[in-house]
Amino acid sequence: MSETTSVISDDSAASDSEPSGAPSAPDYGRSFADVYDEWYADVSDVEATVEHVAELAAAAGGGRVLELGVGSGRLALPLSARGLDVTGIDISDSMLGLLAAKPGAAALTVLRGDMAEVETLVDHGFAVVFVAFNTFFNLDSEQQQRRCLEAVARILEPRGSFVIEAFVPADPPERIERDLSATRVELDRLVIAATEHDPGAQTITGQHVDITEAGVRLRPWRIRYATPVQIDDMASNVGLVLAERHAGWRREPITASTMSHVSRYVPSEATT
């Protein structure tokens, strides 16, 4: 277990610096850090995630766990409280600032940097690497996603597992190009999500337009989604094979109406 929180900066990584002109890859932390814990505390089953990851770490001999895109520690902190040796990586100073201020943060090893280059940030030999709540799709090109998987394959120990939680996109992609919906309607706040979909690139560029008495705040974001089969293909290209896929962290079965999946990959030599 790490005794101290060590935040190591990777200055080459895009982070919360002022953008020059229109942002090409929106900084998730800049857009959402101030509301993240209020809006997204309950987006997924934390208890089940912790149980599942702890079980996989034990099965691999009890080694270290790495969360890609650790954010404000919604999952990493309870995992660490469970007694696991947890490292978290995030590109956003704002998100890591939220994490650092929370009780228990000192027990984590926290690194700032790009998960597409995770291999350059950590020592090898993780029992479990996981990326939750669609965070893998924050890598907004296929190339970045492939680079990330390649790096993950290198840092996993031979008995280790890589787990990804992500939504299941329509296949073939929906043809809807633009959409508008109210995501929060409160007496003193209206949040409207406007999205632009590029089915060819599999990207969705969005704005959460946050309207309060204080004014209007734009919260931009972009994702590059991939179907489960496409993730399987990218993973197998770097020697990671699908070991199990479920509809949630409690190993719910996949059905025709499954909205999101939890998929576990293992090094291909582990299956031979």
Ligand X SMILES: C[S@@+](CC[C@H](N)C(=O)[O-])C[C@H]1O[C@@H](n2cnc3c(N)ncnc32)[C@H](O)[C@@H]1O
Residues forming the site for ligand X (CB under 6 A): 28-29, 69-71, 74-75, 89-92, 95, 114-116, 132-133, 135, 138-139
**End-to-end distance of the chain based on CA atoms, in angstroms?**
32
Q: Which is nearer to ligand X, 75 or 156 (CB)?
A: 75
Q: Which is nearer to ligand X, 152 or 270 (CB)?
A: 152
- What's the min distance (Å) between Cβ of 10 and ligand X? 10
Q: Where are the beta strands (DSSP E) in the chain?
A: 7-8, 65-68, 86-90, 109-112, 126-131, 156-167, 178-186, 189-198, 203-212, 215-224, 240-246, 260-267
Q: Which is nearer to ligand X, 129 or 270 (CB)?
A: 129
The residue with its CB nearest to ligand X is 71
- What's the min distance (Å) between Cβ of 225 and ligand X? 14
d(C-alpha 102, C-alpha 193), whole Å: 29
Q: Which is nearer to ligand X, 107 or 110 (CB)?
A: 110
Q: Which is nearer to ligand X, 130 or 265 (CB)?
A: 130
Q: Which is nearer to ligand X, 28 or 270 (CB)?
A: 28
CA dihedral 57, 272, 153, 59 (to 10 degrees): 0
| Burial category of 51 from C-beta neighbours within 10 Å (exposed 0-12, middle 13-18, buried 19 and up) | middle
Task: Report whether 23 contacts 219 (CB < 8 A).
Answer: no
- What's the min distance (Å) between Cβ of 141 and ligand X? 11
- What's the min distance (Å) between Cβ of 109 and ligand X? 15
- What's the min distance (Å) between Cβ of 187 and ligand X? 27
Please provide residue 239's backbone torsions phi and psi, each rounded to the nearest 5 degrees: 85, 20
Q: Where are the beta strands (DSSP E) in 113-239?
A: 126-131, 156-167, 178-186, 189-198, 203-212, 215-224
- What's the min distance (Å) between Cβ of 73 and ligand X? 8
